[in-house]
Amino acid sequence: MPEESVAEAAIAWFDANARDLPWRHPDAGAWAILVSEVMLQQTPVVRVLPAYAAWLARWPTPAALAADEPGEAIRMWGRLGYPRRALRLHECATAIAQRHDGVVPDDLDLLLALPGVGTYTARAVAAFAYGQRQPVVDTNVRRFVARAVAGQADGGHTTRPADLVATAALLPDEPAVAARASAAFMELGAVVCVARSPRCTICPLVERCAWRAAGRPALDGPSRRPQTYAGTDRQVRGLLLAVLREAVEPVPRPRLDVVWPEPTQRDRALRGLIEDGLVDPLPGDLFTLPKGP
């Protein structure tokens, strides 16, 4: 009897252990999957779940979001972090409405041409929404493949062409099965083959993992430093945006001045928000979320 492949073992585990997440439901649809993938970038699942539900309740289609103001997308984004994602998602919805009759395209090149959609997101939508055979590679998949196949502690900070090739080599030929394998690899990397304290004893590949067989060698090179938040411009930007999200009318500068005591950093953060298109300055030293063209 031939040995079970990496994909077969991962899929069998996934079928029995996968988290029940709404974007994995068969009726989720391509738009919902696209929204989830954008929200999940650098944001934990537990924080995404309520925002995802609220977003789709308000904008169940790309056309619905495109018809609203970009500032409303920023308002609904709340405290998910990295709010430029909300702006890019609004631009993406507008492009889908204008170029593709409101339907998320199923062609990889057309997905990659959408605003704010990169290599990972395009392949994730193609695989998870349309059942295509695509190597879907994020930090969790890079780590899982690096350990299971290459015997390395980590897959690096960014996705390289070699990572796509290595992951594609593990995918079954049947597109729908390959898409299932992609989801399984991602889930294993997220909940079992984690960066710190991996749960090797419950991994379906524990007996064939190259990293474990090599004695679980440590990361070769400097480890990643945790990102700080307190006292950074990111924190100040978040505080400023929080005031604007709650406001019904344009906000005068004095109301923004009270959120952070250091004026140089506060002004720099506000300028950055304006430059990024997240805030519109108005005459009279007033500020608001963007209204669009």
Q: What is the pLDDT along the chain (293 residues), one digit of tens a residue?
A: 345 799 999 999 999 999 999 999 999 999 999 999 999 998 999 999 999 999 999 999 999 999 999 999 999 999 999 999 999 999 999 999 999 999 999 999 999 999 999 999 999 999 999 999 999 999 999 999 999 999 998 888 889 999 999 999 999 999 999 999 999 999 999 999 999 999 999 999 999 999 999 999 987 765 566 667 888 999 999 999 999 999 999 999 999 999 999 999 999 999 999 999 999 999 999 999 999 76
* CATH number given to 233-288: 1.10.10
Residue of 36, 72, 37 whose CA lies nearest to 56: 36
> ∠276-290-262 over CA atoms, to 5°?
55
Distance separating alpha carbons of residues 110 and 129, to the nearest angstrom:
14
Residues annotated as part of the active site = 37
Q: Are 10 and 181 in contact (CB under 8 A)?
A: yes
Alpha helices in the chain (DSSP H): 6-17, 29-39, 45-58, 62-66, 70-77, 84-99, 108-112, 119-128, 139-145, 161-168, 175-191, 210-213, 233-246, 253-257, 263-275
- Residue intervals of the chain classified under CATH 1.10.10 are 233-288
Within the chain, all domains assigned CATH 1.10.340.30 are found at 30-128
Compute φ and ψ for 252, nearest 5 degrees: -75, 155
Class in CATH terms, 30-128: mainly alpha
Q: DSSP secondary-structure letter at 148?
A: I
